[in-house]
Amino acid sequence: MPKPKFTPEEALAFHLEPTPGKFEIHATVPMTTQRDLSLAYSPGVAVPCMAIAENPETAYDYTNKGNLVAVISNGTAVLGLGNLGALGSKPVMEGKAVLFKRFADVNSIDIELDTEDPDAFINAVRLMGPTFGGINLEDIKAPECFIIEQRLKEEMDIPVFHDDQHGTAVICAAGLINALHISDKKIEDVKIVLNGAGAAGIACIELLKSMGARHDNCIVCDTKGVIYQGRTEGMNQWKSAHAVKTELRTLEEAMKGADVFLGVSVKGAVTEDMVASMAENPVIFAMANPDPEITPEEAQAIRPDAIVATGRSDYPNQVNNVLGFPYLFRGALDVHARAINDEMKIACAEALAKLARADVPDEVAMAYGRKLSFGRDYIIPAPFDPRLIHTIPPAVARACMDTGAARRPIVDMDAYELALKSRLDPTATILRSINARARNAQARMIFAEGDDPRVLRAAVQYQRSGLGQAIVVGRDNDVREKLEAAGLGDAAYELKIVNAAKTDHFADYKSFLYSRLQRKGFDRHDIHRLAARDRHVFASLMLAHGHGDGLITGATRKSAYVLNLINHVFDADAHHGAVGVTALLHKGRIVLIADTLVHEWPDEEDLANIAERSAGVARHLGLEPRVAFVSFSTFGYPRSERAEKMLRAPQVLEKRGVDFEFEGEMTVDVALNPTAQENYPFQRLTGPANILVVPARHSASISVKLMQEMAGATVIGPILTGVDASIQICSQSSTANDILNMAVLAACKVE
């Protein structure tokens, strides 16, 4: 098993902060004026109420029903952890709700029902029908789950889908299609052993049989061993349907010569001897969560020819229903489906299998941080593949329309695919991509302010997320005490703590600093004091001597002050081409603002340099740069001497012949709003700008802080660019997470 990348304390902190749980609810309409109030609530709300009462279909137009799915559980089979009760299942259900949103932009809410009585459960869910566009049942144990799902399907006119049954079955089928493709075997011929005859197991074997697997070739096992014809102990009608005539009685016996093992039971149910006895090129899907039936390391040590998958994200080949339920519901909701039928499930499985076999474009490699290509370690798309959202739902929606289950068929499939693309939050993809690149770089990151608890938490997260070695500058005892106080005592042995007073390289650092500052009024005493006592300078010296690959500082002092100190060691100033670029992430949009750190009052040449550096940062983040030089005037009106340089800066870029789009001067609304741009048909941007070059540092700072405070935008930066070293300066208001983001950016540059 790979070492967990988090401690139990971190898992709890993740759920505790910034607010307890994993999501909250936001309004999509304005709620500021009296008019808003009378429209949203009484009396205006009466109008849609009456329209819906007259024609129920219009609920999809006037309420959130059409994009709202309930994740409902009673907690009787929480992952592979057993019956944890309704409340105990809530973190999983909240988790499924955020996955719905993150991967398919489906709004979802978790509902935990405190009953083990199927009738009470059915009744509660049935009565909630009007609220939702679909019902995702989760972690309800077999056999009750079969009764519950069947009855709800009959009684409700929206899709009811038990994810552990059908979500798992769909992903398992997709993975198996490709695994058999690689091992050159046919589903009709293979001998399949399934361990676990519960919700997931029964659905997996049923779907595989509907895809061609032969009844007599499939052996199903549960806690009592093989389910054979005539067995009476621990049976139910769903298991009986898969009983075979056989002399085999144990899983161990069944595994001999098997081509495929599917595990949806519990941790450790499979032994190395069982794996050793399987047929050539065996396929092993050990899907129990959170720990599989056998780990890939154990299986592959015995059988290097095996294709192995698990339900976990930290191994290759994650066969997990997260690849299915968001997209199945997306497709179903978009055609106002009455149900999710077998044809839709098979279409989903086939589309997933096909996507894994397709060439993986660079954009996906970037999002995943490594080149993926179809083979033993990549039989199923990776969950963060941004193509999933626009390839899987259309296949599901098409199957729904073909089988007559769609209430509102899609007429223009191309337009639908385009609309799906725009549902994915590009900022999430960008953050994911820089994280993946940082992980590849494995940079040794120096955190200069080891006495600050936020910095320590960021350093620990950096190290434990597998991004590289975190080096913390500080006094050993002080760092240890602060880690202890933050509940991260163990991390003291994982982080590298460097104390200026004890370093072996101190003499070299001082002589280097003296050579840079001797003609700037610093004598040897000043140099000693600076190197020994100022952690920003000391950390910069470490970086300059290659004793780290990147540097993070600035969480405890003002950025300009820190930058001055760094400049004692590096040439990180305007004169040498340094620029500060801040990324604002808000409502699925990313905009860079520059210069937020270095140039106080840039002239037109500086502004052109700033644009070029910012374009470099944009490309580094995977964006195609579109620069706007912004001001309070647009293309010469109103005229003002102070706006002139913003008009001349684009002319400088024109002379330089740069390879990105730019335009100006213009106001921010013209820069960011395509409709406002239409008033200037001659302007050259092909879309909204994603880089705003502002006239001066004060306007930069005002814009960023206004967006942060008023709009709640996520701010990354200022990203220091144009310096021959990987240094990032946080702001004093940074949270541990902001500091970590800066470290990730610094690590990307090392790549």
Ligand X SMILES: NC(=O)C1=CN([C@@H]2O[C@H](COP(=O)(O)OP(=O)(O)OC[C@H]3O[C@@H](n4cnc5c(N)ncnc54)[C@H](OP(=O)(O)O)[C@@H]3O)[C@@H](O)[C@H]2O)C=CC1
Residues 627/614, Cβ–Cβ less than 8 Å: yes
> Smallest gap, in angstroms, from Cβ of residue 78 to ligand PYR?
7
Q: Is 141 in the site for ligand X (CB under 6 A)?
A: yes
The answer to whether 550 contacts ligand X (rule: CB under 6 A) is no
In the complex with ligand X, the residue whose CB is nearer, 200 or 424, is 200
Looking at the Cβ atoms of 175 and 664, the one nearer to ligand X is 175
Which range of residues in 68-76, 133-141, 710-718, 741-749 is near Mg ion by CB under 5 A? 133-141
Mask of contacts with Mg ion, 80-119, x by CB under 5 A? ----------------------------------------
Cβ-closest position to ligand PYR: 289
CA atoms within 13 A on the CB side of 176: 33
| Residue sitting closest to ligand X (CB) | 198
Q: Is 84 among the annotated ligand-binding positions?
A: yes
- Chain centre distance of CA 96: 13
Binds ligand X (CB under 6 A): choice among 234, 375, 409, 489: 234
Known binding residue 483? Answer is no
Query: Residues 113 to 152: which contact ligand PYR by CB under 6 A?
Result: 139
Q: How far is the CB of 139 from ligand PYR (least distance, A)?
A: 5
Among 89, 168, 433, 726, binds ligand X (CB under 6 A): 168
Cβ distance to ligand X smaller for residue 83 or 735: 83
Q: Taking CB under 6 A as the rule, does residue 266 contact ligand PYR?
A: no
Task: Rule CB under 6 A: say whether 289 interacts with ligand PYR.
Answer: yes
Give whichever of 164 and 298 is closer to Mg ion, judged by the CB atom.
164
Q: Name, in order, each residue with C-beta under 8 angstroms of 71's C-beta and a sequence gap of 6 or more.
A: 93, 96, 97, 100, 108, 109, 110, 111, 136, 138
Which residue of 94, 110, 139, 206 would you call a contact of Mg ion, by CB under 5 A?
A: 139
- Least Å distance, CB 280 to ligand X, is 25
Task: Give yes or no for residue 1 binding ligand X (CB under 6 A).
Answer: no
Sequence-distant (≥ 6) Cβ neighbours of residue 131 within 8 angstroms: 65, 68, 70
Query: 520 by DSSP, 3-state: which?
Result: helix
Answer yes or no whether residue 164 interacts with Mg ion by CB under 5 A.
Answer: yes
* φ, ψ at 233 (rounded to 5°): -75, 135
Alpha-carbon distances of 589 from 423, 579, 688, rounded to whole Å: 12, 22, 10
- Size of the residue set binding ligand PYR (CB under 6 A): 8
Confirm if 346 and 202 have CB atoms less than 8 A apart: no
Residue 465: CB minimum distance to ligand PYR, A: 22
Q: Which of 209, 159, 213 is nearest to 190 (CA)?
A: 213
Residues in contact with Mg ion, counted by CB under 5 A, come to a total of 2
What is the DSSP secondary structure assignment for residue 490, as one 8-state letter?
Answer: G
**Min. distance of Cβ 150 from ligand X in angstroms?**
15
When the beta carbons of 321 and 540 are compared against ligand PYR, the nearer one is 321
288 near ligand X, rule: CB under 6 A: yes
Quote the least distance from Cβ 385 to ligand X, whole Å: 17
Burial class (CB in 10 A: 0-12, 13-18, 19+), 554: buried
Q: Which is nearer to ligand X, 195 or 677 (CB)?
A: 195
Answer yes or no: is 17 a known binding residue: no
The reply, when asked if residue 83 is annotated as ligand binding, is yes
Q: Does 321 bind ligand PYR (CB under 6 A)?
A: yes
Beta strands per DSSP E along 1-81: 68-73
- Residue by residue, what is the 3-state secondary structure of 236-254? CHHHHCCCECCCCCCHHHH
d(CA 218, CA 205): 8
Q: Does 164 bind ligand PYR (CB under 6 A)?
A: yes
Q: Is the dihedral of CA 626, 628, 634, 635 positive or negative?
A: negative
Residues whose CB is less than 8 angstroms from the CB of residue 218 and which lie 6 or more positions away in sequence, other chains included:
192, 193, 194, 205, 208, 209, 242, 244
Tell me which residue of 237, 283, 294 sits closest to 261, measured CA to CA.
283
Altogether, the residues listed in the chain come to a count of: 751
Question: Binding partner of residue 265 among ligand PYR, Mg ion, ligand X, none, CB under 5 to 8 Å per kind?
Answer: ligand X
Q: Which stretch binds ligand X (CB under 6 A): 73-81, 300-308, 392-400, 629-637?
A: 73-81
Region from 5-13, 93-101, 318-326, 389-397 binding ligand X, contact rule CB under 6 A:
318-326
625 interacts with ligand X by CB under 6 A: no
138 is in an annotated binding site: yes
Beta-bridge partners for 585: 590, 714
Among residues 225, 263, 311, 664, which is the contact residue for ligand PYR, using CB under 6 A?
A: 311
Pairing of strands 445-447, 470-473: parallel
**How many distinct helices (H) and strands (E) make up the chain?**
32, 21
- Environment class of residue 3 by beta-carbon count within 10 Å: exposed (0-12), middle (13-18) or buried (19+)? exposed
Rounded Cα–Cα distance for residues 714 and 733 (Å): 12
Instruction: Please name which of 480, 478, 472, 470 lies closest in space to residue 448, comparing C-alpha atoms.
Output: 472
Task: Return the number of the residue (319 or 471) whose C-beta is nearest ligand X.
Answer: 319
The CA distances from residue 608 to 476, 602, 616, 695, in Å, are: 46, 9, 13, 11
178 near ligand PYR, judged by CB under 6 A: no
Q: Is 230 annotated as a binding residue?
A: no
Selection from 345, 444, 433 nearest residue 392 by Cα: 345
334 binds ligand X (CB under 6 A): no
Q: Is 577 in the site for ligand PYR (CB under 6 A)?
A: no
SS3 of 298-326? HHHHHCCCCEEEECCCCCCCECCHHHCHH
Question: Which of the residues 90, 96, 239, 267 is marked catalytic?
Answer: 96
Residue 96 annotated to the active site: yes
Question: What is the CB-side half-sphere exposure of residue 190 using CA atoms within 13 A?
Answer: 32
> Nearest distance from residue 289's CB to ligand PYR, in Å?
3
Which stretches of the chain bind ligand PYR, using CB under 6 A? Answer: 79, 139, 163-164, 289, 311, 320-321
**Residues in contact with Mg ion by the rule CB under 5 A:** 139, 164
Residues making up the annotated binding site for NADP(+) are 78-85
The residues that are catalytic are 96
List residues forming the annotated binding site for a divalent metal cation: 138-139, 164, 289
Which residues contact ligand X (rule: CB under 6 A)? 77, 79-80, 141-142, 164, 168, 195-201, 221-224, 234, 264-266, 269, 287-289, 311, 319-321
